[in-house]
Chain A
Amino acid sequence: MKVLPKGAPQLKEEVFGPGLCTACGGCVGYCPYIKAVADRVAMIYPCNCEEGQCYQVCPRTLTDLPFLRARVFGERALEFDKFNQDSLEAVLGVCRALYFARAGTAAGNFQGQYGGVTTALMRYALTTGKIDGALLVGGKPAQPRPVLATTIQQVDACTGTKYAALPTLSMLYQPTQNTSCLGIVGRPCQVTALRKMQQVGAGAAGQVKLTIGLFCFWSLGPEFIPWLIGKGLGLIDKMDITVDDVLFKKGEEAIRQNLAEIRSFIKPSCQLCYDPVAELADLAVGSTEYEADWNTLLVRSRNGEDLVKEALQQGILEVKPYPKERLPLLKQAVLAKKQRVLQALKAEKERENSRVGYLNLSPAEINFYLKL
């Protein structure tokens, strides 16, 4: 991995200053200079270290994607010069299988955001001892908090999407309570940060054996929760972004809000995010935008594949083929985002031909997207 000899001053200048911090938490909790409270992350005092871990792990500093893909997926690295427009992996990243999926009959009794695939798999990994702790986001949508779940009950209590960006990775710097194998559910930026952390051996990142990335086109900044509370929605149980509005649920009560207002809270960092489908995760899970009780499940690594196979055998998971007619929609959404970001990054500053903004990509990859 290309690592620049840069540290805190540059992190401040390149990431915090322009508001590009994704609140992944990768740099939080290691040293006394960077601190997070709830969904806010800040450098509270200038640390003058010129070569620092914070800079190395941040998903918004130089990120060598080809290198990281190769580290996670080995020989299955992507060959953009051989891809054509129809190639599935060109847009979705390394992909061993793509399904509609949902929690199976043996998965247990909980209510997931959609199909509950994420919770079902984390639960299963925990009960079977594949992991002894899961890094999740618990609490209700207006009071989200990082949780290191070590029991099924704790995992169940973390179901549902919280649209605030929580710096959960910071927990990897806290002495873990006798855990040695961790699972993690994260936004794609967090998965990238985790991979970078694993590269430099930061915190307990080496303990993470199972990574489920969530599909994510944006998350919401720190003004979102006060807004929610201001609207009298501080106690909602569930929040969902539908095709044309936002749905809040409190018990049986359903409240709908205009999406436009919420869009104003989108974090600036998300506008430059190249990875809406957690390319570096073992498994990536999203909605189907089609059938509310199902998830889109993307199997990426061998590790992820093994877990899914086992879960299917045990009735933990249920899958069906990804509907052919839906595929172009998914691909188009991801492609459009990647193109937008590449263009924005390129426009921002023309750099050496393999670098666009914070990304280090092969010229083939850049060409592939920009020419489509």
Chain B
Amino acid sequence: MERVGNLVGWQDIVREEPGKRVLLNGNEAMARGALEAGVHFVSAYPGSPSSEVTDVLAQVSENFNFYVEWSVNEIVALEGAAGASFAGLRALCTMKADGLNVAYDFLTSMNLGGCRGGLVLVVADDPFGHSSLKEYDSRFLAAAAWVPALEPSTVQEARDMVKWAFYLSEQIKGPVMVRSVTRVSHSRGIITLGDIEQTVREADFRPTRQFHTFTRFHQEVRERLKQAEELFAVSPFNFSFGAEKADLTIFTCGPGWLYAKEALTSLQLEDQVKIVRPGTPFPLPKQFILSHLNGAKKVVFIEETRPFLEEKVLAFYALHSENLGQIKFYGKATGHVSGIRGPECGEMNTDIVREVLIGLTGRPYHVPIVSLTKEEKKSLQASLPPRDYMLCPGCPHRASFWVVKSALALEGNNGIVTGDIGCYSMGAMETGFNLFNTLHCMGAGAGIAGGLSKLGAYGFKQPVVTMVGDSTFYHAVIPALINGRWNKANYLCIVLDNGVTAMTGHQPHPGSGKNAVGEEAEVVSIEEIAKSLGFMVKVSDPFRYNQAIQDVLEFIRMPGLKVLIFRQPCALAASREQKRRKVVVRQELCRGDACGCMRFCTAVWGCPANVWDKEREAAAIDPAICVGCGVCIDLCPAGAIVWEGDE
């Protein structure tokens, strides 16, 4: 039970009694919600900011006797959860926004035939892309799939909504989605623990029951949505705040509710402005919305990412404008609500709300803290280093990138590298030597490589390499490899095998030999899979720089599709397990800024533990973070970096 990552209160979830108030983050609260609903089956693919929901449930599954798995990808996870639901059990499936796309084919199909036991899908969006490559709004996907969606604003609500979603799902006999965002999943709040549902259910899938996907079921889904809307209308999740009657009304969803409230309080506008907070964006309860549009003159929309609520409300207004009179709308679609990235991009915050309110009310506002002039702001911004992504000290990906960078330079002919999703997406950035030419979604690298390699007839001669993570390999690369084998593609697939799904918090994967709850599990070997598909396969160690380059060169030149596995445990995971040897710099040998090095270790190699000692004008090692991988020892041209004791 060691692997707890950034969980704060998971132990309280198990230890504390109902009625107790505990500090949890939003993901832990959603896990608690599932527990209180008596969840039986949990499956997920990790992805920030959603991972901790299942991380926590995996920790506590022993105590509560339910099933938890990390699945190989999101669609498999959702299919598994649906199986449990078909058999009458309560099932939870969690994923990040990107994962919803992967699961979407099944979600849209399964929603037609519906399900039986409560089936709840938690999808966490990442506005601003704090830990994602794209920011987008899964409410639109819920709507397109005709799946009812709830959207919590607070940690407490996150728990309440997940719990209630099981009830709703069983009422309407279809899946229900809970949309979280980073600021809900990762912020902390006090919640009061509720009772845990204790009813024992037996899984039984009656042979006469059928869950099918046919066009005619669309009518049923439509009815289900009507039912959901009715239940939403009487749920506690839609409410208003502030002035009873007001010209100026804010419609808000998700964490926008907190920003709106804070902005109102700080501007002392509580008695002049009304806030309307629907927690059930799809299907949006029409009467609730219309009743609050009634009497409003100006309406402001505050929500995360895209104008979902805004568009729905505008559509209601369009149908009822005769009764509602003239209303002016201010939102993202209208361009009025906008952060530094402009409307519809980036994250919402209190300042954005305040700015809109000041504009509309003319209410003076004195920034309570020190106010900065424009120049001061500018110079402050200039002094802040740009946000730079960094691979961890001793990260094997850095070595892998350097190996491939070197090999492709040596091979010549402008080799192309197609990248993929994971920590190693940093291969598209400075810290990864700007190696990747393409970066899209899980599995895309191999598919693109396959396509490129078929362009010989059009004169394409460049070598093509794709770099994929181990977890990504299982998740989405295998079909692309089979396709490549079948269609005689010609590229090199390098699998970066560090033994875990590192980016999302070191969850195990099919190659780890452990499952979600820490039991021993069969290792599904990457090399065995690749070999069985008929590929030339070799395992190489990216820390052995020269050998690894030769392996890449040898494999690039072989015809057809080849698989090279760069195996080296994730530095973070490994450094937890073993004590590493200490590395030091013999500063008298260091060439520093001079030709012959040009500060290679700090300026190019870029391991955060390679640091510059300004006083001595020489490189040094930060012993606090060096994990002792020893790679910089081999790369230092002056032999200045050595193992301690070898000086």
- Show the binding face of A for B, using Cβ within 8 Å: 7, 30-33, 35-37, 40-45, 47-49, 51-54, 175, 222, 226
Contact = CB atoms under 8 A, between A and B. Distances in A.
What size tier do the contact residues of chain B reach? 20 to 34
Nearest to A229: B557
A37 B405 contact: no
B598 A48 contact: yes
Given A31-B637, A32-B635, A44 B604 contact: no
25 contacts: A7-B595, A30-B596, A30-B637, A31-B595, A32-B600, A32-B637, A33-B598, A35-B406, A35-B409, A35-B410, A36-B410, A37-B407, A37-B549, A40-B410, A42-B410, A42-B412, A45-B405, A45-B433, A48-B598, A51-B595, A52-B595, A53-B595, A53-B596, A175-B639, A222-B412
User: Lowest 10 A-B CB distances belong to which pairs?
Assistant: A44-B409, A42-B409, A52-B595, A44-B406, A40-B410, A42-B410, A32-B600, A49-B595, A31-B596, A31-B637
Interface in B279-323: none
Contacts of B598: 31, 33, 47-49
B550 A32 contact: no
Nearest to B594: A49
A32 B410 contact: no
Interface in B351-399: none
Contacts of B549: 35, 37
B411 interface: yes
Contacts, number: 58
Contacts of B639: 175
Interface string B601-637: 0001100000000000000000000000000000111
Contacts of B406: 35, 42, 44
Contacts of A48: 598
Contacts of A43: 409
Most buried by A among B410, B550, B600: B410
Given A42-B412, A43-B409, 15 more contacts: A7-B595, A31-B595, A31-B598, A32-B637, A33-B598, A36-B410, A37-B549, A37-B550, A37-B553, A44-B405, A44-B409, A49-B598, A53-B596, A54-B595, A222-B412
Nearest to A175: B639
Contacts of B550: 37
Contacts of A45: 405, 409, 433, 604
A42 B553 CA distance: 13
Contacts of B203: none
Nearest to A51: B595
Question: Which of A31, A52, A54 has the largest count of B CB atoms less than 10 A from its CB?
Answer: A31
Contacts of B405: 44-45
Contacts of B604: 32, 45
B448 to A, nearest CB: 24
Contacts of B412: 40, 42, 222
A33 B604 CA distance: 10
B557 A226 contact: yes
Contacts of A42: 406, 409-410, 412
Contacts of A49: 595, 598
B572 interface: no
A33 B406 CA distance: 9
Contacts of B553: 37
B429 to A, nearest CB: 15
B524 interface: no
Nearest to A43: B409
A316 to B, nearest CB: 38
B597 interface: yes
Nearest to A221: B412
A40 B595 CA distance: 22
A36 B549 CA distance: 10
B362 to A, nearest CB: 54
Interface string B579-608: 000000000000000011110100011000
A39 to B, nearest CB: 10
A47 B409 CA distance: 14
B562 to A, nearest CB: 15
